[in-house]
Structure 1
Amino acid sequence: KKHNIPGLTISLVTADKIIWIKGFGYTDQNKSQEVNENTLVGLQSTTKTFTAIAFLRAVQLGYVKLDDTISQYYPNFFVKSRFAEDYSSKRLD
């Protein structure tokens, strides 16, 4: 209520199965439909977290290094900046 969020879904999952899933609240402010385990919801900015986790896993496995520059993997990558000529993954925020 404080942040005006009508509903949400919480899921506990492993690599291969859903352990628990439950919907709470409604799909919109008009309370036209309750949220359930089949309700599609937007992930918004959480995809940034998933990308960061996947990238850090690639670092752990030795596929990339945090200090490698982006242009090592994407030669046409360009960011107009007066502070750096090339960015490493540490600088992406």
Structure 2
Amino acid sequence: MQGGQRVVRARISGMVQGVSYRVWVRGEAIRLGVTGWVRNESDGSVTALIAGADAAVDAMTDRLWQGPRGALVSAVEVEETADDAPADFRIVV
């Protein structure tokens, strides 16, 4: 994305499945005005694609460390990517 916009892919590890983490991420993304998606991975982690203004993407990646009640995040790995993001924020399977 151009003009102060960027796209990142984040991998979140810890106790992040079975605690409504994806629903929480979607809510935070909508509040911050970023687009993208979030999905569970077979290894127990969660992956999210986050696109938007630099400040909003930074805020969202910071929030990934929190999660909903019951979540225990042990790692958040973020990398820049050239992936296309949807026009909204989705939970994908």
What TM-score range do you get, normalising by the shorter chain?
Answer: under 0.3
Normalising to structure 1: TM-score of the pair? 0.24
Normalising to structure 2: TM-score of the pair? 0.24
- Of structures 1 and 2, the larger Rg is shown by 1
Higher RCO by CA contacts (8 Å cutoff, separation 6 or greater): 2
